[in-house]
Structure 1
Amino acid sequence: MDLTPSRLGSKEHWDDVYDRELANFEETGDEGEIWFGTQAVDKMVKWALEHVPPSQSPQTLEIGTGNGTLLLALIEAGYDPASLCGIDYSAGAVRLARVVAAADEQNTGITFAECDFLTQDPPQIEWDLVLDKGTFDAIALGEKEEDGTSPAARYPSRLARLLKPGAVFLITSCNFTEDELRAAFEGAGLTYYSRIQHRTMTFGGKTGSSVSSVAFNKPASY
């Protein structure tokens, strides 16, 4: 989890990105970059349909929602907009997500809120399903704490407290392997639940994937 700090881990960077993307959307209707691409979104939605389907009416939170693409895809798959919430520490991202969502009437009821996950609580405290597509990666690129640790070290325990007993967390990452994700979140008391298979590649005699998606469960006895 000890990555070199980068501009990609700064709030200023993401504020600039989403201010530009909001201006572009208002001018051209382009919703902006889809982090990890549409294939990663499709795989996460398919996983949710199989493991936490709309019939269960799961209260769902996305940490670092960006332009809201993942939550909007869940609505297309049959999830109730009123049960979905996306948070982001960038006010520009929240404005963009709201505008993109408002362009389609079926998204009425979805909640987007400005919230710094490491220091603030989202609109409600307990969730059935929590999603992360690249936010843990970005946090890990932030400036080190005073004691030299990564700000991402605070993420797993804050995440665990938001899950209802028996609830599930699904994370997609490009900076961390499956083993590294398991070490981080199992260390916070969560248990491994399942994984999503992504396209693999072979280099130097080793086979792996550039993206890892892993799901964790909060034990009922947590």
Structure 2
Amino acid sequence: MSTAELPPSKLGTKEHWDEVYERELVNFDEIGDEGEVWFGEDSVEKMVDWCIDNVPPSSNPSVLEIGCGNGTLLFGLLEAGYDASRLAGIDYSAGAVKLAQGIAATKDGEAITLSECDFLNDTPSHLASDADGGALEYWNLLLDKGTYDAIALGDKDADGKSPAAGYPARVARILRPGGLFLITSCNFTAEELKASFTTPELGLVYHSQVRHPTITFGGQSGSVVTTLAFRKPQTP
């Protein structure tokens, strides 16, 4: 299924996510509930394990999560030994950022940079610094756990194009040469993700796949979610 074939849904609207995180903020303030873990704890663990194997903490990578929500994935990396000052998350919902910041304060994760940012329209270049103290515009590792899915459910433009159509190019632009992009999706198969993120103009190449449990229905087997990694080749 292409992004153009997905019908719009409230899950693709900022209003929906603002409402979700407004409720979750209230729950966090009242009872300490950190909110829903999108795709579940198992998906978070698999993504963290992949990061450890392919972009280990010892390499001191700069890491940006696109659509960080309550920050669960970033906190998983923090617990795995990644440098908090090199971890950053963005979300277009101010409530999500506020919730993640509140949770970070309970996990010694205040050094993680969490900022409100619309990834499709704003460049997240102000979130961290390079070794010389300058603004970091290019990242060693980009993470997405359901954000591309949500964007693909947004309203289409007058030409029937999904807002997600511009997402892969923005990913490719802010990845450092040699950098990796890890994405988990429930709306797209591995082949569909490859078709979107390995076009000649992007220059990204398929790297690897994280295996999830499979289910069989109607004689067909598959996973509920798909996690793939793509790499930006080193420049000659």
* Corresponding residue for residue 18 of structure 1: 21
Alignment of 1:85-164 (within 5 A): 85-105=88-108, 107-122=109-124, 123=126, 124-164=136-176
C-alpha separation between the residues in 2 aligned to 1:200 and 1:189? 31
Superposed CA deviations along residues 30-67 of structure 1, whole A, max 9, x for unmatched, are 00000000000000000000000000000000000000
Alignment of 1:45-84 (within 5 A): 45-84=48-87
C-alpha separation between the residues in 2 aligned to 1:6 and 1:125? 32
1:175 aligns with 2:162: no
How far the C-alpha of 1:12 sits from its partner, in A, is 0.2
* Structure 1 unaligned spans of 5+: none
Give percent identity, aligned residues only.
60
* Structure 2 unaligned spans of 5+: 127-135
CA RMSD of aligned residues (A): 0.9
State whether residues 101 and 110 of structure 2, in contact with CA within 8 Å, keep that contact through their aligned partners in structure 1: no
**TM-score, with normalisation over the residues of structure 1?**
0.98
- Secondary structure of the residue aligned to 1:14 is helix
C-alpha separation between the residues in 1 aligned to 2:34 and 2:174? 29
Please list every run of at least 4 consecutive aligned residues from structure 1 whose deviation after the TM superposition is greater than 3 angstroms.
none
How far the C-alpha of 1:140 sits from its partner, in A, is 0.2
Number of residue pairs aligned between Structure 1 and Structure 2: 221
AA aligned opposite 1:216: F
C-alpha separation between the residues in 2 aligned to 1:16 and 1:118? 21
Superposed CA deviations along residues 3-29 of structure 1, whole A, max 9, x for unmatched, are 100000000000000011011000000
* Corresponding residue for residue 6 of structure 1: 9
Superposed CA deviations along residues 60-81 of structure 1, whole A, max 9, x for unmatched, are 0000000000000100000010
How far the C-alpha of 1:108 sits from its partner, in A, is 2.8
